[in-house]
Amino acid sequence: MKRRDFLTSGAIAGSAMAASSAILNPITASAANAASFPGDQRAKAKLRMCSQLGVIPGGKPEDKLKWMKSHGFEAVEIGGQGNDYLDWKKRADDAGLAIASLCIGSFGNKLTDEDPEKRKQGFDELKVQLERAGALGANGVVYVPATGRPDRPNWRIRELTVAMLKELGPFAAEHKTHIILEPLRRGEAWFLRQVSDAAQICKDAGVQGVAVLGDTYHMYTEETDDFAAFVAGGEYVKHVHLGNGTKRQLPGQDNHSFVKTMRGLKYIGYVNFIGYECGVNGDREIEVPKSVEYLRKCWEEA
């Protein structure tokens, strides 16, 4: 049973009380009826769509970027870049899009390896991608500290992650970008699975240039409530990946509601990009615009 399903089933007995308190509690009430309350930053929040290219219709990257612009997207998310990285800037500029981020992964877990030589290699590789992200105007490099099966205590990986951020966060800030920590669901990562934990790691590092990503596919398993998760992440949340919780397909293609997701982002005054990292069930030309419209409705309802 998923965490949120367990919590939901346990709360059924108190549903009548919750329904009445929602009238007085603007956090659980609909946005239309909610009064302003401490920490509420909804007035400045913006919905800004981006996507990785895999979900977008078309053949060549240029065709996909043009399609994105014509369908209301503002940015594209790309992978790690080689020496021709400035070609992506030209493609995006020609299409009228920004580059949201570089989605890299774990760098083979080298940055949290016990071998100092491997850590140095990972540091050097991440620095190159941070430099390129800065040159591309991207908000950050998406990074996962450890994947695979557990091989050390969590405290040790955490210690190495904080030390890495302390050293490379200022380097990222110097290049006007971020190291963006991405929590993953269990089975994919044994360390860092919740947005709040990633935010606390950033706080412990105590430097600029560090940030957090919330991926709704992973959050569906690991978080009890998307609203609470994004509120816990607060100002550190700088990027969002979108995929439904059951099959990692487009939001709106199952019964996974995104209203609380949007409510959490609006509450923290989120103004950065939210982007598709998922598959599509059906014709991309039809299903992607439907999903965008669905998300806009969720944003309005939040």
Q: How far from 237 is each of 68, 152, 231, 296, CA to CA, in Å?
A: 24, 27, 9, 20
C-alpha–C-alpha distance, residues 275 and 48, integer Å? 8
Q: What is the pTM of this model?
A: 0.88
Q: Name 161's Cβ contacts closer than 8 Å, sequence gap at least 6.
A: 111, 112, 145, 181, 192, 201
Question: Tens digits of per-residue pLDDT, 20-61?
Answer: 333 234 444 444 444 456 678 989 999 999 999 999 999 999
C-alpha–C-alpha distance, residues 284 and 253, integer Å? 12
39-48, 155-164, 200-209: which has the minimum mean pLDDT?
39-48
Question: Tens digits of per-residue pLDDT, 9-20?
Answer: 444 334 333 333
Domains present along the chain, CATH in parentheses = 46-301 (3.20.20.150)
Q: What is the pLDDT of residue 279?
A: 97
Q: How confident is the model at residue 233 (pLDDT cuts 50, 70, 90)?
A: very high
C-alpha–C-alpha distance, residues 89 and 67, integer Å? 17
C-alpha–C-alpha distance, residues 108 and 15, integer Å? 46
Q: Token pair for residue 62?
A: 């240029």
Question: Tens digits of per-residue pLDDT, 285-299?
Answer: 999 999 999 999 999
Q: How far from 162 is each of 14, 86, 89, 177, 276, CA to CA, in Å?
A: 41, 31, 31, 18, 28
Question: Tens digits of per-residue pLDDT, 264-286?
Answer: 999 999 999 999 999 999 999 99
Q: What is the pLDDT of residue 6?
A: 46
